[in-house]
Amino acid sequence: MTDKGDQRPGTPMPDFEALSRNMAQFVEEAGRVAAAYLKPYEEGRAKGGAADEVGDIVKTLGNVAEKWMSDPQKAIEAQSALTSRFLDLWASTLRRMQGEQAEPVIAPDPKDRRFADPEWEENPLFDFIKQAYLLTTDWADRLAADAEGLDDHTRHKAQFYVRQIASALAPSNFIATNPELIRTTLRESGANLVRGMQMLAEDVEAGGGQLKVRQSDPHRFEVGTNLANTPGKVVFRNELMELIQYSPTTEKVLRRPLLIVPPWINKYYILDLNPDKSFIRWAVAQGLTVFCISWVNPNEQLAEKSFEDYMREGIFAALDAVARNTGEEEVSAVGYCVGGTLLAATLAFMAANGDTRIAGATFLTTQVDFTHAGDLKVFVDEDQIKAIEQEMAKRGYLEGSRMATAFNMLRPNDLIWPYIVNNYVRGVSPLPFDLLYWNSDSTRMPAANHSFYMRECYLRNNLAKGRMNFGNTRLELSDVTIPTYHLATREDHIAPARSVFLGSQLFGGRIRFVLAGSGHIAGVVNPPAKPKYQHWVNGKPRGELDDWLKEAQEVPGSWWPDWIDWIAAQSPERVKARDPAEGPLEPLCDAPGTYVKMRD
């Protein structure tokens, strides 16, 4: 730090005796972290996969380097461009250190919270570090983007990996290069580092030898108590799922029941976080008889359960149970994320076989065409799938933490590094946040199911192409002629809006497409009583999303009222409310059931 930085008003001085004690304790806690990391290896239960991932990164970035080095003149020009900008930065920094004004050579995005502390701009040294980082990462990204002769998939992977490395190496992540962290450490005489190392040890232990970054206070939530607490009964159970029927809160309900098919990558209660945010509780209050599948957290005994099994033992078993408990042969169905992909494939299978039990379907942030599937496609090519399949073969499933990490990597500057810095350097436990608690409550995936999903959807896009088969039945989405409602979210990194928009056009019936603000979760969980985001409507999807949006009407507030109007219009007749405690199926237990409480 420069003299100017040292002499800033309020610059703290440590208690050196306390600092000495804290550093000794810090070393002790670091030993606990090492022990937690090594324990799975000593016991022969270490989780694999990291070596394959590192190998793919090295191979991909090696391809980029090879393309540049094959043309020495272009490589020299690229290096010269970086050198020139650094000379500009050095000259600018010298002027600032002499008390002159100088425009920055490069500035961070105004939304980049990593450099929000005023000293990043006011202190010439930290301003130099910040700009040097931004120049270097911008240059590296351009190398990946402009390398000639790379195929599209390799280029996409290279840019993604460059962003991950850039996020990890940000000066905001390290004490010595972050002015705010320096002040915190001096003010607390290193006590923050001791607390951080204690949390790091706990999180490595919780991850079974791998770091499971806490994003919320894990002790402040309990499923069934302050999460997933909408009243209801589990009315059916098999080895893949429990079926919850929720208790009515209106005297009359729509005749046609509603069946929700959530993703199995995460647990269903994203739709039932708490009374204020619960889509399920709200749907019940609108006069719907709501059933929801709660998928099991599978173990090695379910390794061979396939995508088709999830249709037969999940959706079909649920439809049978709904019919038995309500006497209704037709339902409306909602599929969320991969649950929606399964629902779409199921509808194509039903259409091919004359099965009319689902009379209308809603797809929430669901991809059926994976042409524009975004950064998750980085993880899908033949070599990577084979590596994952080999890993899954050892235990029969994919660890839930693997998918959770992949999702977090889509937004590392929001979902990874802020928590690492806050938890383990500042030593501050994260605030209780129900959505992020749910995000960390990951589930495993059966080997057969996950392999099918990666190959048939992400790698080959066979559902969109009409080449996916369940048994001897070829699945054609154009055969699905029931009314469908498709919700995309504008900032979705998991199911990009462009991808959802394109896929929605493959269905053969009346289609309603709605675009909501925000992302994959917040755009969906946007209750009318406390709306945070708007939505856009423009009828049937045609052409490209950008063209559709130009003519769309922006509507303030939640999309939920638009959806319930659509649902009610399909079948407006109402009947006496149905109590799950009084139906033909004997309740097995209270909601939320037992499967949702199985931890990864």
Residues with catalytic annotation?
337
Check if the beta carbon of residue 566 is closer than 8 Å to that of residue 485: yes
Calpha distance 191→132 (Å, rounded): 30
Among 199, 159, 337, which residue's Cα sits nearest to residue 260? 337
Dihedral (Cα; 50, 55, 60, 66), 10-degree rounding: 150
CB count within 10 Å of CB 495 equals 30
CA angle centred on 307, ends 283 and 435, rounded to 5°: 40
Query: What's phi and psi for 488, nearest 5 deg?
Result: -115, 160
Structure tokens that stand for 443 in this block: 């589930």
Q: What is the number of alpha carbons within 13 Å of residue 322 lying toward its C-beta?
A: 28
Calpha distance 564→257 (Å, rounded): 13
Long-range contacts of 141-149 (CB under 8 A, 24+ apart): 141/166, 142/78, 143/64, 143/68, 143/78, 144/61, 144/64, 147/63, 147/64, 147/67, 147/68, 148/67, 148/71, 148/74, 149/67, 149/70
Query: What's phi and psi for 114, nearest 5 deg?
Result: -65, -30
DSSP state of 172: G
Calpha distance 558→575 (Å, rounded): 27
Q: Give the residues across from 589 on adjacent strands.
A: 234
Among 67, 280, 298, 56, which residue's Cα sits nearest to residue 157? 56
